[in-house]
Amino acid sequence: MRFPFLVMLAVIGCAPAPSATPVDLTRVRLVDLTHALDSATLFWPTSPSRFVMETLAHGPTPGGFFYSAYAFSTPEHGGTHLDAPIHFHDGGATTDRIPLDRLIAPAVVIDVTAQAAADVDYRLTRADLEGFERDHGRIAAGSIVLLHTGWSDRWPDARPYLGDDTPGDASNLHFPSYGEDAARFLVEERQVAALGADVASIDYGPSTEFLVHRIAAAAGVPGLENLTGLAALPATGAVVAALPIKIAGGSGGPVRVVALVPVERP
């Protein structure tokens, strides 16, 4: 494994033992980093469809008890979702074949809210990351890096979130994200497990070449997009679990992302 699962066990106060040991969740604060899927969920402007939920049953049964069931359909890449490496790399891992240690790992949160407020198309730079490391130490291999831009506050209003709300047109989008040099630094030099952001893409809005996606995918690094709640996480110290629907052969899919943030006991 790229990063031992023992790290997560240490954070939540549980260690391997011959017999079952209860997980002590009093030692962590659980933070949901996921937007719910519903009729307002945002998708890439060129997506041919949206999230649809159909009622199959809802109400009393002949036996006198209540029963409900639903059917849903959705494109893979909308709402809080995962990009599998095959999304931008021929032969890359599909959703069902991404190693779990790329999906459950210590988190590093890079705060660029000030830069993004000044420049809607801001791209994270290598210099930003070098400054982060001076303040917080080296970004460890196997970390899940999360870019906090503050953009999730704009969800689910398409125009402020995406920069444009023209149906079927992705040519005039504006939002911040990773830059190419930062992506290469994280993927190639720091060998991180995954890249995530609280925006619609790990490439910034005006991108047409999607270099960050391509750099990450070629190295087997998945992406996590449309996250929320990153302001509640420390720069380091949390553990993130990002488990997508296990779609065989998929290029991505909806994902529930949760952070475990250590807390000090009184």
C-beta separation of 78 from 35 below 8 A: no
For the question of residue 87 being annotated catalytic, the response is yes
35, 77, 81, 87: the catalytic one is 87
Closest residue by Cα to residue 255 from 222, 211, 224, 221: 224
C-beta separation of 177 from 197 below 8 A: yes
Closest residue by Cα to residue 216 from 44, 88, 97, 80: 88
Question: How would you write the chain as a 3-class SS string?
Answer: CCCCCHHHHHHCCCCCCCCCCCCCHHHEEEEECECCCCCCCCECCCCCCCCEEEEEEEEECCCCCEEEEEEEECCCCECCEEECHHHCCCCCCCHHHCCHHHCEEEEEEEECHHHHHHCCCCEECHHHHHHHHHHHCCCCCCCEEEEECCHHHHCCCHHHHHCCCCCCCCCCCCCCEECHHHHHHHHHHCCCCEEEECCCCCECCCCCCCHHHHHHHHCCCCEEECECCHHHCCCEEEEEEEEECCCCCCCEEEEEEEEEEECCCC
Amino acid at 55: T
Q: Which residues are catalytic?
A: 87
